[in-house]
Amino acid sequence: MAGPGTHLHRILKRWTGEDVSETCLCASRIQRMDRWGPGKCRRRIADITQWLRSEAEERNWWRRLAKIPGAISSIRMMVLMAIRRAEKDGHR
């Protein structure tokens, strides 16, 4: 049963083609989100969105995101999609 962090990782990997690197904090954040579960991830969505924004800038994904009107809203939607998928999987 995959948690919100695992689902978010899958979404981002499909979108960017990139995986967790040795220099990013992604693996620990994936695990943290999975431990938090959907409820706490919803409450901490502003933090998670900021993590993704920072990572996007670091990895130069921002050029892709910048083309999307309301880029922060788009990032937030990816996080919410991951949370919903985790709930559908039965993750609490």
- Chain segment 68-88, per-residue pLDDT in tens: 667 778 889 999 999 999 999
Q: Is the dihedral of CA 9, 12, 14, 16 positive or negative?
A: negative
pTM: 0.86
pLDDT of 79 reads: 95
Range with lowest mean pLDDT among 2-6, 15-19, 26-30, 61-65: 61-65
- Tell me the C-alpha distance between 45 and 19, whole Å: 21
Task: Say which amino acid occupies 63.
Answer: R
pLDDT of 31 reads: 96
Q: Taking the CB of residue 38, how many other CB atoms lie within 10 A of it?
A: 22
Nearest to 40 by CA among 75, 77, 5: 5
pLDDT of 72 reads: 77
- Tell me the C-alpha distance between 5 and 17, whole Å: 17
- Tell me the C-alpha distance between 56 and 64, whole Å: 9
Nearest to 48 by CA among 78, 69, 10, 92: 78
pLDDT grade, residue 19 (50/70/90)? confident
